[in-house]
Every structure is written in structure tokens, then in C-alpha cells.
Structure 1
């Protein structure tokens, strides 16, 4: 019967007892409380087999914890250790991993220990001592144990696949009697499995088909294989059309495979519908195979191809991490890796890269597709481009921050015209001279313009709307006329530029810069406005006390002020307007050590 299971136990070990496919490597967990001896064992084992990887734990409890999270092919364990001895470790390993190779490698040997180890399921029992040749023996025992373990696991998977196959599968002996039938075979024929075992195959054939079976099908199968369509008689007397395949093994065992034609066509139609639905889904869909090395993609739909920009042949066989790059954060990647390791569903959002290098936000949902034994046979992944949603969310957050800052600085900017209005009204009330009220038209107009600015910002989400050529000197002169300047003076350089700007926003900027110089420079401060030499932009400078270098980085921070009772919002307003235009501002020494603000990267 061995021939009916290609690649079985014998096929996994070569003539010398070595693992045929060493490309996978062998991971050994060595539990040994003596660190020096543990290092020696690791060195010799890895010299004996270059595909061995030996990890050592000196604490048996820590070793058991590691076993839960590491992919280990074999455990090599000492007997006499503090906390837990080797037999106690063996007992706990067997409770969780009944078939994992376990070698008890101990210097304290006795028939009693050996007997108890065997009763608890030890794979190999080996005593330390005798020189370096013991490591060659240990390496050989590990190698053969792992080979058997992998081969048995392969056979188990193969048998499980036969048991759960959609097709009916049966084995018959030389006399034509059933010696094995899977569940699907019994379902198609209508018999219980136990009823068919020991029964001759001719019970399933109507009289008209028996001659064909003996004269055509069996002879062709002995020559290699027979395929075709036949009619079976079910236990209840009904007939069923089956696609039929029979062949013989070298030991004369007959292998028979059948498929219910009507059911198969229905299944094919259902699978075709599902496959079309997956292929045409507006999101990316992938299926990966955890039984293969590195859990590669074995299916990718058209949506995934379109989403990533990679050709299907570039995708198949790759792990999904090929979409990751420098901007991919570690947290969602770790969450996906841990969920796959634990066979649990997970949903994350992370930055991925398309084939052309473009970044996009990918919403990834992964779920295991479990087999009858509960273990994941595959993982299905759904990928959706959510870049636009992230952009909307980022714009929303920026809007919130903009409104918070804008509200503060706007209230500050309103104070100047409001103070003028209050002052003129008070003078008119005190003196009875209504002429003072003539001077409030301009600040009222200014407040009206600021209110319009508020409406524009609320509507567009931008501090700067329409930009047009604006003469900086002309606007500075207009602003100067609205300020309480006392004995201060304003000088405008001939080279003061005309710039592309939102005129109302530029006026607010100059109000704050000129007002700052008046506020800090004293009664007779001199202020100069002009163009920059060799670069596009303009400056506002004064001969006041200046700004210490240590404070220049903080001067535009909302709330920062050096004046008692100051709001610290004037310069924050300037910074907002500069940034909204795409300009930059820097602080330099001004006239005779005063302050100088330079606005650069300005479009002339």
C-alpha cells in the first residue's frame, strides 16, 4: 500500500538516513542549564550539519514559553536541571506537541530514567560522555527523528486530503473487494463505509455494465489507467452517472476515483461563479498558502493587480510584504504577522508601495480558511485603497487646527481697529466734538474686511484666497495711516517690490509687523520697509531694542510675548499668513541692532 502514498515516510529519507530536502533547515531547541556545555553542543551540532540552527535556553520554563512562539523541529533536553527536570519537560511538551521529536541528552543515566522517558514518549534517549564522537551520534539521531517527523506529517496531510476530498476514492484488493473508501465515495454510492468494506465492486454495477468493466476497464487499468463515464447503482436502487478513473499499484491494489457528474457540474458552476465574483471584485483579493515556505500568494484577483500595478506573474509566489517599504510603519505589520501566526482574523491600515513607487494607504483584512481539523489551510486577504479617505481625514484635522489658530489670531487682529473706534467714540463723548467720529470710518471698514475674511476662510478652509499683484509699499503706507504712530517714522525703499498676494491678508501681516515695531521700539522708533537684495521678497526693520537670538525661534509661537499683558498672537498671525502664501519668514538684526523680519520665497 506504500505506493499509493507517493512521497511517504520512506521517500523523505535517503539511503543514508539523511533528510533529503535540507533546504528547509532544521531548528533545534537545546535546554541545558550549563551554559558552557550548551555552547559546546551548539558549536559541534552546527559543524556536523550546516543546516542545523541551535537555540539554547538554560531555564526549562523559559524554553517551554519559547516553544509556544518559535518554529522548532526538535527539542534536545538535559535531565538534571533546577526547577523542572528533563522528564517533567518531556511530559509538558508531549501534552501540547505529541509528535514533536524530543531527545533526552543527559549525563545522569539509568535504566529507570530511560524506562520512564520511553513511557512518556521520548523520541531518543542518549547519554553524554565519550568524547566528541557523541555529537556526531546526537546529530544523526536529531536528523533521523526530524526526517520521520516531517515524513509522518506529510503522510498525515496526504491521508487527510484523501479523507476530505470532494471526489470519491476507494482501494480494492486483488480479489476486487473494498479495503478502503472515503466519505465522498460512500455518499455517492449511498452506502455506509462499513457496508462496502469487504464487498466486491460488482455490487455497484448494473448488469449491462459488468461486461464492460471486465472486458474494457480492468484490462486498460492494468496497462496504465482507464478513464471514462460509467453508471453506478446506489444502495437505494437509483442510478448515478460518475466520471470514473481506475489504476493499479505495483502490489496489485486497485485505486478507484469517482465524481458525481451532476454534482460535479453544479460544483463547477458554483466555483466558476465564485471565481468570477472574486476576479471582478472592486477590491484586491489574495489567497496565501501557509504550508509553503514564507506563506506565498497563490491567487491574486484582477483588483489586486490593478491596485498594486504589478503583473500577476510578479505577484504569485511572493509574500505580501513585497508591497512594504520605508514609509510602512512597524505596528500594523506586527499586528498582521502575529494574527497570521495565531491563525486569527485581523484588519489594519498601512502605507504600501505600488509597482511605480507611489505610496498609498491600504486597508488590509486577513482571515484564515480552516480545514476540517481546524488548522488554517489558506489565508484570504482583502486590500482596499483608502488613500482618499486618509486625505480627507488629514484635511479635516488640518481644518480643526487652522480654525483653532485662526480664531485666536483673528481676535487679536480685530483689537487694533476696535481700539481706534473705542478711543474716538470716548473722545467724542467726553468733548462733544463729533469730528472724532469721522476717523472711525476706516477702522470700521477694516473690521468689515476682517469679517469677510472670516467668511471666506469658513467657506474655503484657506487663509489666502485670490492672489493678485500687490504693491507692498502702497499697502504699508495705507496701514501706517491707520496706526497711532506718535513721533515714529516710516521709510519706504525705492526697491520695495510688487508681489503676488492676497491684499487683505498682506495688510493684516503689515499691521502686525508695523504694530510690533511701534509697540516695542519706543515713541520715536524708525521703521523701514523695502525689497531684499538678490532674492525675491521684502523686509520690515526697525531701530528698536531688537530680538535676542535665543528668542527668535519662539517669536512666532502662539502665546509667546515679552511684554507684560501681551497676547502673543500678533506674530502668530504673521506666521499664519506667511505659511498660507507659501512664503517663509526669518528674523535678523535690524537698524542699529533693532529687529528685521525678512519674508522670502515670494513670487514677484
Structure 2
């Protein structure tokens, strides 16, 4: 079944008296052609600006302009339309310089007049090539947009030539300039130091053994931004030897963050289940047993202990609701003066039991309300566990100096330390669990809330021993803001 033939609109740029006749002859040569005549450059530009055409044709001279000069005069209005210069006899001699046809066609190659039929055939050829070029550009554009949307790029490595081809998507993931050369080894150097051997061995196995690979690894861009990528390699083997390796790179940083958030939510649900099944049940059972005793003996102390158990249950429920409502979310972040937040947070504790000092003034990018909540709970923890007359110190963590390109910038952050008895090593992994407390009347939610606030900002938190032997909480991965 033949495809329905498309109509073709041609603008014929010709100031000769025979222009209209030549236009009709072109229409007669191909029934798809509709030919409009413009007798001057100005008229041609006007028609191109206001009407749609598929092709420009000219015998090569108009208003004193010929060849490339004529094309330049109408190029802005013509945009990327194919431009065919003909050597059809105008009746006033063959146009000079008429071997240029535009869009890759070199024309008849002589000044001999060509037939209208041959010109029509050349127009069809030029249009076919132009349309093929446009389809290729469109596919390339769609592919590039798809790479941007999906944060993906493709690459090819020729084993014999030892040369690599990469798409713009791969350049974007690496953070490279358009003219920078990429080699396999240079790409491997962008991976996290702990992952480089993994990707290097996988790439070598693809070449030597024809084994494909599919890995999720940490990756550092040219701007030193730590990301996650999924990198895949598929070898092509000919006569038993790998001749090339084709692959893709996919930035999966957002996916990894979502996975981490889901894991954290799962942990929180498990913590809530533990609180409901154990932490709340314990004081509830105690209150129930004491109620029998109080009813039997009328002992005021029993009633007081019942009241305390109910108060502990109420506190536990409030803390659970706080975690459930706030979860891992934070509000808008802004540069925050840590010293000011610490002073505000210290107002919520008994200053007679603990002294608070900030070693230096610095600013961080944070949600000020959630940051104050973090400090309030850390200071309250020190007041409860560091002992009377304790001193709490807040300071800046500086990353260790290093010359390794792949060093982790996560060392930036701040610490909160005290000079109390500290936390035993075997308990440090448990202190952030909801419901964990060594205090007789503690709920075990303060440090759990601290952890939630840190994770909500994308920070990491750990506990170690302070210089004075007390507890030292370190929050890292923090963006320190210059004054």
C-alpha cells in the first residue's frame, strides 16, 4: 500500500520576468508541489516570516545577491529550511554561481541549464535528506530529554581502540565540561574509594570474560558531591573476544534516599509497637496492681505511685505522638546561629544543675524549630544523666585534613559533650532507640527524638566519649554556612 503523498510548499526566489512561468512548470513536474514566487529579498523574508514553506528554490541571483550571499540574506527567516539553487534557464541566461543547492546537495556541478524535471527530482532528494536529518535530530533530542528526566546516560568502550564514547547524560552525572575527555580509569576515580575496586574488577571481567555487571555504588562528581549511581555494563563478543562494552549510568541518589526513609519509617513503626506492647504496658500493670493494694489498705503512698504510673503513661503517649506527627519531616531551612539556638534551648532546663557553653559562633543550614528541639533534648539528657554541676559544651567539628580526592565531606558538623560519667561502650548503639532509658523515671524518648531531627535534615549522629570522660554526641554531614 502506497503512502499518501504529502504536499510540498516551495518559495521560489526569482526576480526575472519568467519566474511565474517557471513556478507553474515546477508544479506541473510534480503534483505535490505548490510554488509561490517572491520577486525580491524583502518579499521573500516577508513570506517566510508569515507563511510556512518546506523548501526554498532560486536560480541564484536576487537583488544583486548570489549563492551564499542570498542564503545569508534570508537565513534568519528561513531558519533550517533546505535551500536549492538551480541552473534552470531563466530565459535571460543561466544564473552565475548556481552550483550551490544547500542541505548537503552539491547541485549539477556545472553551469549547464538543467531541465525542470531534474530540478524537481533534486528538490525531492534534498527534502528527503532534510526530513531524515530532522527525524534524527528529533530522536536525539528525545533521547537527551529522556536522559535528563531519568538522570541516566549511556557509554561505549572499544576494546581494540581503547576509546570511549559517552553521552551528555554521562557527562552530566560526572559533572564534566563538554570538551573534557573521559576514559574508563578516569571514570573509576570518581567512585568512592571503598567502591573503586569493585567497579574496576567488574569492568575488567566484562572485557576478559565477557561477563555483564549491574552495580549500585557511591560516586563523587567533579564538584565533590557524593551521589549514588547504578552502573551497568554489557560486553559484545565476536569470535570469542570482547570487542566493545556498552553501558549505562543512572543517578539513583533520590531512590536511595527514599529507600533510607522507608527503612527509617519501618524502624519507627517497630519502636512504636515496642512502646505500646511493653513500655506502656509495664506502668499500666503496675498501676493496676497498686490499685488493688490501695483499695484494700487505703495507703496514700500507693495512690501516689498510681498517679506517677499514670503520669508516666501520659508522657509516653505524648512522646509517641510527637514522633508520629513530626516523623522525618522538617520545615524550611535557613542559616541558623547555633549559639542563639543553644541559648534558647537551655531555657527549657534547670540551669542550676547544668552549665551550657558554646565554644565558638558558627551558622548551619537547618530548620530552626527542629534544631532547637534537638538541643533541648540533648541538654535535658545531660541534665538527667551527667550529674550535678555538669558542664555541657557545644562546638564545631572540623574534618581531618586529607589530600585524598574521595575523602568524605561528612566530617563537617558539630558536637554536644558533657563532663558526666559518660555512656558505656556496649550501650551506645541502643541509646537512640525509642523507650531506652537508664533513669528510673525516664521515658527513653529524648535521644530518639534527637536522632529523628538529625535524620530529617540528612545528618548522621553518633555518640562517643568526651575529652572529660563524659558523653559526646557528634552530628555530621551538616552544611556549615559562612558568616
TM-score (structure 1 length as normaliser) = 0.38
Which structure exhibits the higher relative contact order, with contacts defined as CA atoms closer than 8 Å and separated by 6 or more residues? 2
TM-score (structure 2 length as normaliser) = 0.45
Larger radius of gyration: 1
